[in-house]
Homo-oligomer: A and B are copies of this chain.
């Protein structure tokens, strides 16, 4: 049940090309993404976008004509207040993506192993291999909708006890399954003492993120990742952050390029954090997607040949079609771009696709297309 992914040499371009082709990298799926309705990117819905546009009108031009503060201290102070943490516990990245790229470079040496589950976010494997590490994965059980079970945790822990395993990547909610890891299972993993990277970008809302962050006080081996891309629907800003013990964060900061986040991004993030702290922007107002998700789920449940493959709690859903239907290609013909997971470790060539929930208008277009495909293969 356990799978190993071959390790590639650092800096070896052909190997990295092979790796990208084999890991289900789902950017660059088509040459002309602008020609499609895009359900492929896990963007959240920005419910306060008029406010964001207004903030840009007030932009402080000093943030553009000067280099950003190399320590990003002002933004960190606000973020720390919002998270109930200290500045020394926060590192800031150009999206969580940059942090995912940096972390294995810092903590993994060649021949070290990293461990993750499958299916999970392809970037965990990609960046680990690029850092020269070896990757092992424990498979989640598709038959049970990819939910965590005692069996899964036992297998993961057995594998994690290998001395060569230095780092464990976990996304919660997981991508592309959309499922949270139960707290007691997470605790079991953290207790192993390996470096655990907990990716919380998919429910980086105050409560869930704060709860996860509090764990770092007793667990200096834990790093929590989040960003403003999904929760706040602001992926264009490229703003992510890592929360960890002062020691861990210091290591990340020492490798971070001093000016990794653009001035306009920091300006808007600060405006947003002040509004959150002042309760002028309310997280609860951003939960409209839940209603849309449940609407989509109900409709998809009516289909014959296409089914929901997991009980996602986040802003995307996972679908599976019968073997004779290549759902990705069929949707593509209808100008709909979803995420093709046929190369994703753990669910290869099984016709899984991931779809981000959009607004009712776009969701109806999607449903129409799914129904047509479903009927066509009747």
Residues of A near any B CB (own CB < 8 A): 9-13, 16-17, 20, 27-28, 33-34, 41, 43, 46, 49, 52-53, 56-57, 59, 61, 63-71, 94-95, 97-98, 101, 105-110, 131-132, 229, 233-238, 251, 254-255, 257-265, 268
Known pairs A28-B70, A264-B262; A64 contacts B16 (CB<8 A): no
Query: Is B46 a contact partner of A65 (Cβ separation < 8 A)?
Result: yes
- Residue in chain B with minimal CB distance to A123: B257
| Bound Cα distance A71, B262 (Å) | 19
A107: chain B residues at CB < 8 Å are 11
| Bound Cα distance A253, B276 (Å) | 37
Q: Can you name 22 A-B pairs with beta carbons within 8 Å?
A: A11-B107, A11-B109, A12-B109, A13-B106, A16-B255, A20-B254, A28-B70, A28-B71, A33-B70, A41-B66, A49-B64, A49-B65, A52-B65, A53-B61, A56-B59, A63-B236, A67-B236, A94-B260, A95-B257, A237-B264, A238-B262, A262-B265
A61: chain B residues at CB < 8 Å are 49, 52-53
Give A268 Cβ to nearest chain B Cβ, in Å. 7
Query: Is B108 a contact partner of A11 (Cβ separation < 8 A)?
Result: yes
- Residue in chain B with minimal CB distance to A232: B65
Query: Is A234 a contact partner of B108 (Cβ separation < 8 A)?
Result: no
| Bound Cα distance A237, B94 (Å) | 13
Q: Which of B52, B64, B97, B236 lies in contact with A257, CB distance below 8 A?
A: B97
Query: Is A27 a contact partner of B258 (Cβ separation < 8 A)?
Result: yes
A233: chain B residues at CB < 8 Å are 65
Q: Which of B10, B260, B264 lies in contact with A236, CB distance below 8 A?
A: B264
Query: Is B262 a contact partner of A262 (Cβ separation < 8 A)?
Result: yes
Query: Is B237 a contact partner of A261 (Cβ separation < 8 A)?
Result: no
A255: chain B residues at CB < 8 Å are 13, 16
A95: chain B residues at CB < 8 Å are 257, 259
Give A89 Cβ to nearest chain B Cβ, in Å. 18
- Residue in chain B with minimal CB distance to A62: B236
A105: chain B residues at CB < 8 Å are 10-11
Known pairs A10-B10, A237-B263; A52 contacts B28 (CB<8 A): no
Question: Which of A64, A132, A257, A258 has the most chain B CB atoms inside 10 A of its CB?
Answer: A64
In the complex, given contacts A34-B69, A65-B236, what are 13 additional A-B residue pairs having Cβ atoms less than 8 angstroms apart?
Answer: A11-B109, A13-B254, A16-B254, A16-B255, A28-B70, A43-B66, A53-B61, A64-B268, A68-B236, A94-B94, A236-B264, A262-B262, A264-B268
| Bound Cα distance A300, B71 (Å) | 33
Query: Is A234 a contact partner of B64 (Cβ separation < 8 A)?
Result: yes
A43: chain B residues at CB < 8 Å are 65-67
| Bound Cα distance A260, B95 (Å) | 8
Question: Which of A97, A109, A238 has the most chain B CB atoms inside 10 A of its CB?
Answer: A238
Known pairs A132-B10, A229-B67, A258-B28; A263 contacts B251 (CB<8 A): no
Give A346 Cβ to nearest chain B Cβ, in Å. 22
Give A209 Cβ to nearest chain B Cβ, in Å. 20
- Residue in chain B with minimal CB distance to A250: B13
| Bound Cα distance A109, B66 (Å) | 35
| Bound Cα distance A268, B46 (Å) | 21
- Residue in chain B with minimal CB distance to A9: B109
Give A214 Cβ to nearest chain B Cβ, in Å. 26
Give A325 Cβ to nearest chain B Cβ, in Å. 27
Query: Is B236 a contact partner of A66 (Cβ separation < 8 A)?
Result: yes
A17: chain B residues at CB < 8 Å are 254
A46: chain B residues at CB < 8 Å are 64-65
